[in-house]
Amino acid sequence: MPATPPSLFPPIQPVRHGMLAVDELHTIYWEEVGNPNGIPVVFLHGGPGAGLSPQHRRFFDPQAYRVILFDQRGAGKSAPLGEWRNNTTQLLIEDIERLRAMFDIDRWLVFGGSWGSTLALAYGQAHPERCLGFVLRGIFLCTPAEVDWFLHGIEWFYPELYEEFIAPIPVAERQNLLQAYTRRLLSDDPAVYWPAARAWSRFEGRRVFLLPQDEEQPSDTLDLGVGRLESHYMANGAFLSEDQLVRNIGRISHLPAVIVQGRYDVICPPLSAHRLHAAWPGAKLRMVPDAGHGALELGIARALVGATDAFKRHGRFD
């Protein structure tokens, strides 16, 4: 992990937290942080399947914001871990709406990074009347080109990681790595899905930051959530129609937004942020020149905190 960016607010504990049953299969973990009378904001984590971290609470001034965070279906403390059935973008949007109603919030700021930016855009376009604005990081639109880059394009930058990633897959199956991994990851046999989950999670995790970081301790929760749910959502095009998030940008283009993007992000390359901004010129684009994909990289963390500080003062992003 990188050193904690000095721009983050101090560590904070939830005001309250709990579990919410959203259907007969899934129960999601939620927490509320900050000022109960503050500006409402919902935090959407990445992955899908990556879950929450205590650091995620620290992008917001706790005196100014009422922050609602939750582990999406199959992620983190939500149960069952790694469950891909009854798990679609549309169902996640319904979960967000359940939480909004549960907390009696009329409109809120929507904050999401990586897959969280995908979900934030999809949620906003489904419920623009419930959004105050958007803070988006590391844009991922889940187009076929982005999925292909995630799986194959990265070989140009990290050939050694790519070799490790394809090594467990027989040569005859390598022409469709996504299919090969998804079949293993969604197996009911732990002897089949665990090695695939660990390989998938490491393949992504070791290229998050621009500069090398100390290796984190392996996390079964992260590995299973990320491996299963990322492959599931990628294999299904995030349950979106072709280029849906750009085509439907007019539904939210009247709302304030900031896009924070690492120039050297090799997980979600800058082209997606550029395409989104071209379709949404009213959004502010903050291209961080010395950063990759990680929310805790110094420049990205500074830009995210700067965005939430600007919004608390002016209700927009200058």
Active site residues: 114, 265, 293
- From residue 43, how far is each of 118, 255, 288 by CA, in Å? 13, 17, 21
Distance CA 272, CA 11 (A): 32
β-bridge mates for residue 81, sequence order:
none
Distance CA 316, CA 309 (A): 10
- DSSP SS3 for 236: coil
| Helical residues (DSSP H) of 65-219, grouped into ranges | 89-102, 115-126, 144-151, 159-166, 177-185, 190-205
Peptide linkage before 48 cis (omega within 30 of 0)? yes
Hey, what are 46's tokens? 């990445």
β-bridge mates for residue 133, sequence order:
109
**Nearest Cα residue to 229 out of 46, 31, 19:** 46
Task: Using alpha carbons only, give the angle 282, 283, 289 rounded to the nearest 5 degrees.
Answer: 135
Distance CA 95, CA 256 (A): 24
Enclosing H/E stretch for 284: strand 284-288
